[in-house]
Chains A and B, each alone.
Chain A
Amino acid sequence: MNANLFIPTLFAVVFAPLILGIINRTKAFFGGRHGQPFLQLYYDLFKLLRKGATYSKTTTYIFRLGPMVGLVCVLLATTLVPFGGIRSFLCFPGDILLFAYILGLMRFFTVLAALDTGSSFEGMGAAREVHFSALAEVAFFLGLIVLAKATSSASFSDMYSSSFPYIWIANSTQMLLVGVAFFLVLLTENARIPVDDPNTHLELTMIHEVMVLDHSGPDFAFILYGSALKLWVLGTIFTQTIFPFRSGSIYLDLLFSFLAMIVLGVIVGIVESTMARLRLLRVPQLLVAAAALSTVALVLSMR
């Protein structure tokens, strides 16, 4: 077995929390502050893992299961996405569907765990999360279909293969449209501004954060790490769609892809510092617009 196969997963596992650090530092820069260290999330994770967990008496095993299943799911997802031109650990035709549904499963368990607490706030957050991701999924799937159609393959590794840059140039319009749609999906799925504010602690306006309020200790570490990984995998899909670059050398490609991820972190940070969170009623409109972009791309490539 080729050792290269583990590289995409390895990069994800090691560097995912770093991207969040970059986002936070960018926001701090725009806010005129010095900000947290880049590695803050790593420290947090270590701290949380060493702590014990507290469970409410009203919760059942579902509540304990939620973070673990979530982490396993997203780890599985990292094995499906190639990175820097290196094929992923698992790849077969149709793995794009598995990827989408694994993320769906992760969300499902997070939501179940939130509902299991019986708290009205968590229920509210769960409802919002499901609502918005249902809309985001439309844009995501349509975008994936466009990619599959353009590259005539149904596997991430085949899509982002060495011929991808040529395909990209021939279909640049569609690719840019899909890229923008993926970016909106990324912001939604990872609970970033303008959809959700990860820093807010006002339950009425929270979406993702409110669902995980009751988790503590290692469970909470799993959740934090899981969401960092989720940002990473969706980010790799976005960056590979929008910056198709192949030099031929594995190391150069890897370096470039890694730089692209850092750029993504900066972009997200800039978006978060310059935009305000949308009113909840306006969020569906944004997601419908993302779906519209994907559809335009789809119609263009079906022509």
Chain B
Amino acid sequence: MEQLINMLMVVILLTNLLLLGSSRMGTCIPTLGFQGILLGLALPVLLFLPQGITTHILVLVLITIPLRGILFPFILFRVIRKTNIQREIEPFISYPVSIFLGILALVLAFWMNSRLTGMSVPSLHPLLLPVAFYTILVGLILIVSRKLAINQVLGYIVMENGMYVLGIAFAGEVHLLLELGVLMDVFVAVFVMSIAIYRISREFDHIDVNQLQNLKD
């Protein structure tokens, strides 16, 4: 059981590395969905199984999976179809270097965790916190290292995934109302961002953020 959760955590870590290292949207988006399903299904079930499955967990699983695992990838796929984007050719930071940064981020995440452990937080699992930090860091790296607007949305979703784990790590079962509020915000954010990308691609014929440089001092 312990090893099973361990492996699950590591698979989540690896999905992050894959997101950092792959240029094709056709790889990134399903990976994101896979990560969402792991977070939505496996994590609560495995972590809270000893306490028995409550309605809280059930509702959470039933909402998180369709949202993070299916709807977000679906929205992103629609965006790439409409904007005709297959892959990001030249990001600010090349893919091998991104993976290298990802490794540094991993060390950083574990270091942050080591600073926090032993301080009053009753953790459900020792790997929960580093995975949360790491996913957030990878989201940030994705946002700043990529030029395509769609990849920034991807990074944002990854970051939000990390914060979902962080919520579990710190607060255990957060009140359902709050959880739903956060999920709704994330959903609306992704929705609004994808509409924004449509508009940008219609107006500019590209979605390269690096070329958005009209507004300067």
Give the interface of A toward B (CB within 8 A): 169-170, 172-173, 176-177, 284-285, 288-289, 291-293, 295-296, 299-300, 302-303
**Given the contacts A291-B103, A292-B17, A173 and B95 also touching, CB distance less than 8 Å:** no
6 closest residue pairs by CB, A with B? A288-B96, A173-B6, A295-B103, A288-B99, A173-B10, A173-B7
* Contact between chains at B17 and A173 (CB < 8 Å): no
Give the interface of B toward A (CB within 8 A): 3, 6-7, 10, 13-14, 17, 21, 95-96, 99-100, 102-103, 106-107, 110, 114, 126-127, 130
Q: List 13 A-B contacts (CB under 8 A).
A: A169-B3, A170-B3, A172-B3, A173-B6, A284-B96, A285-B95, A291-B103, A292-B17, A292-B102, A296-B13, A296-B17, A296-B106, A299-B107
* Contact between chains at A299 and B3 (CB < 8 Å): no
Compute how far the CA of A292 lies from the CA of B98 in the bound complex, rounded to whole angstroms: 11
* Contact between chains at B10 and A296 (CB < 8 Å): yes
Q: Which residues of B contact A285 (CB under 8 A)?
A: 21, 95-96, 99
Q: Which residues of B contact A176 (CB under 8 A)?
A: 7
Known A288-B96, A293-B14, A296-B14; further 6 A-B contacts with Cβ < 8 A: A169-B3, A289-B17, A292-B17, A296-B10, A296-B13, A303-B126
* Contact between chains at A173 and B3 (CB < 8 Å): yes
**Given the contacts A177-B10, A288-B99, A303 and B106 also touching, CB distance less than 8 Å:** no
* Contact between chains at B106 and A295 (CB < 8 Å): yes
Compute how far the CA of A289 lies from the CA of B96 in the bound complex, rounded to whole angstroms: 8
Compute how far the CA of A30 lies from the CA of B96 in the bound complex, rounded to whole angstroms: 33
Q: Nearest chain-A residue to B11 (Cβ)?
A: A173
Q: Which residues of A contact B96 (CB under 8 A)?
A: 284-285, 288
Q: Nearest chain-A residue to B111 (Cβ)?
A: A299
Tell me the smallest distance from the CB of B165 to a CB of chain A, in Å.
17
Q: Which residues of A contact B127 (CB under 8 A)?
A: 300
Q: Which residues of B contact A296 (CB under 8 A)?
A: 10, 13-14, 17, 106
Q: Secondary structure at chain A's binding surface: helix, strand, loop or mixed? A: helix
Q: Nearest chain-A residue to B22 (Cβ)?
A: A285
Q: Which residues of A contact B102 (CB under 8 A)?
A: 292
Compute how far the CA of A289 lies from the CA of B103 in the bound complex, rounded to whole angstroms: 10
Compute how far the CA of A296 lies from the CA of B12 in the bound complex, rounded to whole angstroms: 12
Q: Which residues of A contact B103 (CB under 8 A)?
A: 291-292, 295
Tell me the smallest distance from the CB of A197 to a CB of chain B, in Å.
22
Tell me the smallest distance from the CB of B205 to a CB of chain A, in Å.
28
Max chain A C-beta neighbours (<10 A), residue from B102, B103, B126, B127: B103
Tell me the smallest distance from the CB of A244 to a CB of chain B, in Å.
14
Tell me the smallest distance from the CB of B182 to a CB of chain A, in Å.
28
Q: Nearest chain-B residue to A295 (Cβ)?
A: B103
Q: Which residues of A contact B114 (CB under 8 A)?
A: 303
Q: Nearest chain-A residue to B2 (Cβ)?
A: A170
Tell me the smallest distance from the CB of A99 to a CB of chain B, in Å.
25
Compute how far the CA of A293 lies from the CA of B103 in the bound complex, rounded to whole angstroms: 9
Q: Which residues of A contact B99 (CB under 8 A)?
A: 285, 288-289, 292
Q: Which residues of A contact B6 (CB under 8 A)?
A: 172-173, 300
Q: Which residues of B contact A299 (CB under 8 A)?
A: 106-107, 110
Q: Nearest chain-A residue to B103 (Cβ)?
A: A295
Tell me the smallest distance from the CB of A135 to a CB of chain B, in Å.
9
Compute how far the CA of A303 lies from the CA of B10 in the bound complex, rounded to whole angstroms: 13
Q: Which residues of B contact A291 (CB under 8 A)?
A: 103
Compute how far the CA of A257 lies from the CA of B3 in the bound complex, rounded to whole angstroms: 25
Q: Which residues of B contact A173 (CB under 8 A)?
A: 3, 6-7, 10
* Contact between chains at A289 and B3 (CB < 8 Å): no
Compute how far the CA of A163 lies from the CA of B197 in the bound complex, rounded to whole angstroms: 57
Q: Nearest chain-A residue to B117 (Cβ)?
A: A303
Tell me the smallest distance from the CB of A6 to a CB of chain B, in Å.
37
Q: Which residues of A contact B13 (CB under 8 A)?
A: 296
Compute how far the CA of A302 lies from the CA of B113 in the bound complex, rounded to whole angstroms: 13
Compute how far the CA of A172 lies from the CA of B14 in the bound complex, rounded to whole angstroms: 16
**Given the contacts A169-B3, A173-B7, A288 and B100 also touching, CB distance less than 8 Å:** yes
* Contact between chains at B10 and A300 (CB < 8 Å): yes
